[in-house]
C-alpha cells in the first residue's frame, strides 16, 4: 500500500526544478524552495553535451553517460532544445589532431545505435549513421563556392557559413560535424515553471530562502525553517532534497554532513555580430584548458547574437575561480571578488574587457567576427563539482541515510538519471508504487502551450537583463529536413 509522502526540495535550478517536475508528475506532494525570483536563474547552460565531444580530457565512460543522459533530457524537455549541430575543429596551433577524436566518435555512434535499437523513441539526435560527418578542406572549398544553401543537403547547409567564415588555414582536417544540440536556459526555466504551476500537488515558493533544517526527533523526516518574502515559517517533511547548486555545502553544514567537492566560477559572454545573417552551427575550436590558447566556443542565437566561451583565465576561467573544500569546512569558499559578482553584478569595465577578449579569441579563427560588439552583461555563475576530480563532467546524486538526497549534477543533461535515483529511494520508502509511469513524466512537459512558453521565456530573459533573442532557439526541424533532403 502506497504511503503519502511530503518532499522538500531546496533550490530551483535545473536540478531542483527537474526533480520537482518528475516527482510532481508521479503524484508526490512536493514543495520547492527557491531563494531567487525565478527558476533556472543560476549558472548558465547552452550545450546539451550529447556525447561530451567538447571534452577531449574526459573518459569514454563519461562521454557514453553524457550521450545516454542527453537523449533522456531531450525526451523530457523537447521544447527547450536548440536543434543545431556542433562543428568541432582542431586548430593548426593545437598539439592534438582530429584523427585522435575519431575512435570516440565511432564508439558514441555505435552506442547511439544500440540505444535506438532498445527504444526507437531514443532517436532524438537523428539517424545513428548521421551522428557525425567529416569534412575535408576540399569539401569546405566546394561548399564555399555554392551560391546559396538551398543547393546543399541539410548537413552541408550547416557547413556553408563555416566554409565561408572560418579561416580555412587556421584549422586541421577533417573538420567534424556532430549532432550535439544546444539547450535554451530561459525556455528551460519557463517550461519547468509552467509545468509545476499546472500540478495540484506541487508548491512553488519563490523568493524563499531555507535558513535551517533539523531532523525530527523520531528520525521520520525534517523540520525546514524558511523565510518567505521576509516572513519566518516552519514546516515538516518526510524527505529532503538538497538541490542548492554551489551552495549545497551550506545545506550539508546545517545537517552535519561532509563530502569533498569543488566550486567553480565561470562566465560566458554575449555578443552581437550585426551584419551577420547566416544560420550558424555551434563551433568548438579545441585548445588546452587554462592556457591562452584554451578552447573557444561560438554559440549562435537568432538575430546575430553569439554566446562565447574561451577556456583561458582572462575569458571564461578565472585565477582562483576553482576552489576545493578544506578539511575544516563543508562549503568551498569562493573569494569575495566572485561573491561580489554573484550578488552585485559586474562593473561595465569588466564586462567590456572580458567580452572584447572573448571576441578576439574567436576572431583568430573567424576573422570577420572581429566587428562583433558587446551585447549585454555575461551569463555567469558558480557550480559544484562533487568529489576530488575537477574534470568530472557526468555526476548525478548521492544519499545520506534513508531520507536525504544531494543533487550533484555537473551538466544539465544528468537531471533525469538523478531524478530516477531519487524516485527509486522514494519507492523503497513506500511513497511511490513499484512501477511508476515514465510517459506521465514526459507528458507534463510536452503538453505545454508553445505561445505561453515562448512568452514567459522572453519575459525571464529580459527581466534578467539579456537581449530577448537569447530566449529564442533554432527550431530547425533538423531531423525532418535530413530525411527529406539527404
Ligand atoms: C559559464 C558556465 C557555463 C555552463 N555551461 C553549461 C552548458 O553548456 N551545459 C550544461 O549542461 N551545463 C553548463 N554549466 C553547468 C550548469 O550551469 C550547472 O551544472 C547547473 O546550472 C547546476 O544546476 P543546479 O540546479 O544544480 O544548481 P543552480 O542552478 O545553482 O541552482 C541552485 C539554486 O538553489 C538556490 N538556493 C541555494 N541555497 C538556497 C536556500 N538556502 N534556500 C532556497 N534556495 C536556495 C539558488 O538560488 C539556486 O537557484 C555551465 C556553468 C557555467 C558557470
pLDDT computed for residue 147 by the predictor: 74
CA atoms within 13 A on the CB side of 204: 24
Query: What atom in ligand 1 is closest to the CA of residue 382?
Result: 53
Centroid of chain to Cα 255: 28
In this structure, the residue with its CA closest to atom 41 of ligand 1 is 210
Residue 483 has a pLDDT of 41
Q: What share of the chain is helix, strand, coil (3-state, %, to 5)?
A: 40, 20, 40
Question: In terms of Cα–Cα distance, which of 251, 272, 249, 269 is closest to 259?
Answer: 249
Cα 379 to Cα 309: distance, rounded to the nearest angstrom: 10
Radius of gyration of the chain (CA): 22
What is the atom index within ligand 1 of the atom nearest the CA of 40? 29
Q: Which residues line ligand 1 (CB under 6 A)?
A: 10-16, 33-36, 41-47, 49, 209-210, 243-247, 266-268, 380-381, 383, 407, 409-413
Q: Where along the chain do its domains lie?
A: 6-43+186-258+389-448, 260-386
**DSSP assigned state of 486:** -
Handedness of CA 332, 334, 336, 342 (dihedral sign): negative
- Which three cell numbers mark 308? 562565447
Q: Name the nearest CA neighbour of 108 among 178, 36, 171, 47.
A: 178
Q: Rounded CA gap, 143 and 162, in Å?
A: 9
Q: How far is CA 322 from CA 150, 246, 332, 379, in A?
A: 46, 12, 9, 17
Quick check: 431 and 4 in contact, CB under 8 A?
yes
> Best of 205, 383, 410 to mutate for ligand 1, by most ligand atoms within 8 A of CB?
383
Q: Of 19, 86, 247, which is best to mutate to test ligand 1, by the most ligand atoms within 8 angstroms of its C-beta? A: 247
Å from CA of 94 to ligand 1 middle: 31
Closest atom of ligand 1 to CA, residue 11: 34
Instruction: Return the pLDDT at 476.
Output: 57
Residue nearest to atom 34 of ligand 1 (CA): 11
pLDDT value, residue 10: 98
Place of cell 573518459: 59
CA distances from 182 to 31, 165, 353, 392, 416 (A): 29, 21, 27, 20, 17
With b meaning 16 or more CB within 10 Å and e meaning fewer, what string describes 431-442? bbeeebebeebb
Output the CA 438–ligand 1 centroid distance in Å. 25
pLDDT digits (tens), the chain, 486 positions: 577 889 999 999 999 999 999 999 999 999 999 999 999 999 999 999 999 999 999 999 999 999 999 999 999 999 999 999 999 999 999 999 999 999 999 999 999 999 999 999 999 999 999 999 999 999 999 999 987 777 778 899 999 999 999 999 999 999 999 999 999 999 999 999 999 999 999 999 999 999 999 999 999 999 999 999 889 999 999 999 999 999 999 999 999 998 889 999 999 999 999 988 888 999 999 999 999 999 999 999 999 999 999 999 999 999 999 999 876 777 889 999 999 999 999 999 999 999 999 999 999 999 999 999 999 999 999 999 999 899 988 889 999 999 999 999 999 999 999 999 999 999 999 999 877 788 889 998 988 999 999 999 999 999 999 999 999 987 655 444 444 443
CB of 40 closer than 8 Å to CB of 188? yes
pLDDT score of 149: 72
Give 10's Cβ-side CA count (13 Å radius): 30
Residue nearest to atom 38 of ligand 1 (CA): 244
With residue 196 as reference, give the H or E element that holds it. Answer: helix 185-197
Tell me what pLDDT residue 1 has. Answer: 58
b/e per residue 196-226 (b: at least 16 CB within 10 A) = beebeebbbbbebebeebebeeeeebbebeb
CATH of domain 6-43+186-258+389-448: 3.50.50.60
Q: Helices (DSSP H) in 198-279: which residue ranges? A: 248-255
Pocket probe for ligand 1: among 17, 35, 317, 392, the residue whose CB has the most ligand atoms within 8 Å is 35
Q: Whose CA is nearest to atom 33 of ligand 1?
A: 11
Task: Report pLDDT for 355.
Answer: 98
**Pocket perturbation via mutation, ligand 1, pick of 14, 16, 38, 43 by most ligand atoms within 8 A of CB:** 43
Distance 413 CA to ligand 1 centre (A): 12
The 3-state DSSP class for residue 133 equals strand
Atom 1 (ligand 1): residue with closest C-alpha? 267
**Ligand 1 atom at shortest distance from the alpha carbon of 410:** 19
Compute the distance from residue 245 Cα to the ligand 1 centre, in Å.
5
How many angstroms separate the CA atoms of 396 and 416, rounded?
9
Closest by CA to 204, choosing from 15, 419, 29, 436, is: 29
Burial class of residue 357 (count of CB atoms within 10 Å of its CB; 0-12, 13-18, 19+): middle
CB 181 within 8 A of CB 48: yes
What is the distance in A from the centroid of ligand 1 to the CA of 344?
A: 17
Amino acid at each position: 500500500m502506497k504511503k503519502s509522502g511530503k518532499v522538500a526540495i531546496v533550490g530551483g535550478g535545473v536540478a531542483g526544478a527537474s526533480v520537482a517536475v518528475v516527482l510532481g508528475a508521479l503524484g508526490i506532494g512536493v514543495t520547492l524552495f527557491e531563494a531567487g525570483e525565478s527558476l533556472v536563474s543560476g549558472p548558465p547552460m547552452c550545450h546539451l553535451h550529447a556525447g561530451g565531444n567538447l571534452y577531449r580530457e574526459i573518459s569514454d565512460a563519461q562521454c557514453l553517460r553524457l550521450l545516454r543522459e542527453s537523449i533522456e533530457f531531450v525526451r523530457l524537455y523537447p521544447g527547450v532544445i536548440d536543434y543545431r549541430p556542433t562543428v568541432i575543429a582542431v586548430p593548426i596551433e593545437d598539439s592534438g589532431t582530429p584523427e585522435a577524436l575519431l575512435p570516440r566518435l565511432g564508439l558514441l555512434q555505435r552506442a547511439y545505435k544500440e540505444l535506438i535499437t532498445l527504444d526507437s523513441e531514443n532517436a532524438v539526435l537523428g539517424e545513428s549513421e548521421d551522428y557525425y560527418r567529416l569534412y575535408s578542406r576540399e569539401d569546405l572549398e566546394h561548399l564555399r563556392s555554392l551560391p546559396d544553401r538551398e543547393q546543399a543537403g541539410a548537413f552541408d547547409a550547416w557547413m556553408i557559413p563555416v566554409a565561408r567564415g572560418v579561416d580555412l588555414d587556421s584549422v586541421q582536417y577533417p573538420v567534424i560535424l556532430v549532432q550535439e544540440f544546444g539547450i535554451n536556459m530561459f525556455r528551460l526555466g519557463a517550461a519547468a515553471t509552467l509545468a509545476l504551476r499546472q500540478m495540484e500537488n506541487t508548491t512553488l515558493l519563490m523568493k524563499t530562502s531555507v535558513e535551517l533544517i533539523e531532523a525530527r526527533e523520531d528520525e521520520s523526516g525534517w523540520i525546514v525553517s524558511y523565510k518567505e518574502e521576509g516572513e519566518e515559517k516552519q514546516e515538516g517533511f518526510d524527505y529532503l532534497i538538497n538541490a542548492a547548486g554551489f551552495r549545497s555545502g551550506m545545506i550539508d553544514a546545517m545537517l552535519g554532513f561532509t563530502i569533498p567537492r569543488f566550486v567553480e566560477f565561470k562566465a560566458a559572454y554575449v555578443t552581437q555580430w550585426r551584419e551577420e545573417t547566416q544560420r550558424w552551427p555551434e563551433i568548438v575550436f579545441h585548445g588546452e584548458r587554462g592556457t591562452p590558447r584554451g578552447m573557444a566556443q561560438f554559440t549562435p542565437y537568432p538575430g546575430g547574437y553569439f554566446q562565447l566561451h574561451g577556456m583561458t583565465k582572462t575569458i571564461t576561467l578565472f585565477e582562483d575561480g576553482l576552489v576545493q573544500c578544506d578539511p575544516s569546512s563543508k562549503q568551498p569558499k569562493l573569494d569575495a571578488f566572485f561573491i561580489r559578482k554573484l550578488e552585485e553584478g559586474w562593473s561595465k569595465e569588466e564586462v567590456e574587457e572580458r567580452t572584447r577578449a572573448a571576441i578576439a579569441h574567436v576572431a583568430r579563427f573567424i576573422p570577420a567576427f572581429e566587428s562583433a560588439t558587446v551585447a549585454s552583461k555575461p551569463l555567469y555563475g558558480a557550480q559544484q563539482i562533487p568529489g576530488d576530480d575537477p574534470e568530472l563532467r557526468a555526476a548525478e546524486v548521492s544519499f545520506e541515510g534513508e531520507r536525504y538526497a544531494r543533487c550533484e549534477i555537473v551538466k544539465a543533461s544528468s537531471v533525469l538519471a538523478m531524478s530516477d535515483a531519487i524516485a527509486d529511494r522514494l519507492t523503497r520508502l513506500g511513497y511511490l508504487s513499484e512501477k511508476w509511469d515514465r510517459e506521465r513524466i514526459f507528458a507534463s512537459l510536452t503538453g505545454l502551450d508553445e505561445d505561453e512558453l515562448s512568452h514567459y521565456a522572453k519575459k525571464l530573459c529580459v527581466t534578467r537583463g539579456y537581449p530577448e533573442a537569447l530566449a529564442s532557439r533554432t527550431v530547425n526541424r533538423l531531423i525532418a529536413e535530413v530525411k527529406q533532403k539527404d
